């Protein structure tokens, strides 16, 4: 999988933020181990949004990940 992560909105010193990712899953999936045939692959343009929060220790943690299937990137 290939990530293309970006800040959705300016953080501006806040303790919450929204990040975006245009995830390429076209080379990930399942394979038949006997024949080597590729059975499934993921989408090549999966738009994902992540809600993150900065903790008291200063570390950013993901609170939610949402797939925006209606908005391909």
Q: What is the structure's pLDDT at 7?
A: 79
Phi/psi at 3 (5° precision)? -95, 145
Distance of CA 10 to the CA centre of its chain: 18
Q: What is the structure's pLDDT at 35?
A: 96
Examine the pLDDT at 8 and tell me if it is beyond 90: no
pLDDT digits (tens, 9 = 90+) for 19-68: 999 888 888 899 999 999 999 998 888 899 999 999 999 999 999 999 88
The pTM (predicted TM-score) of the whole model is 0.63
Examine the pLDDT at 14 and tell me if it is beyond 80: yes
Q: What is the structure's pLDDT at 65?
A: 92
How far apart are alpha carbons 62 and 42 in whole angstroms? 23
């Amino acid at each position: 999988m290939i990530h293309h992560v970006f800040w959705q909105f300016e953080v501006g010193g806040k303790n919450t933020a929204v990040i975006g990712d245009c995830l390429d899953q076209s080379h990930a999936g399942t394979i038949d181990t006997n024949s080597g045939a590729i059975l499934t692959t993921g989408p090549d343009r999966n738009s994902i949004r992540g809600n993150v929060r900065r903790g008291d220790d200063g570390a950013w943690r993901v609170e939610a990940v949402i797939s925006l299937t209606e908005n391909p990137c």
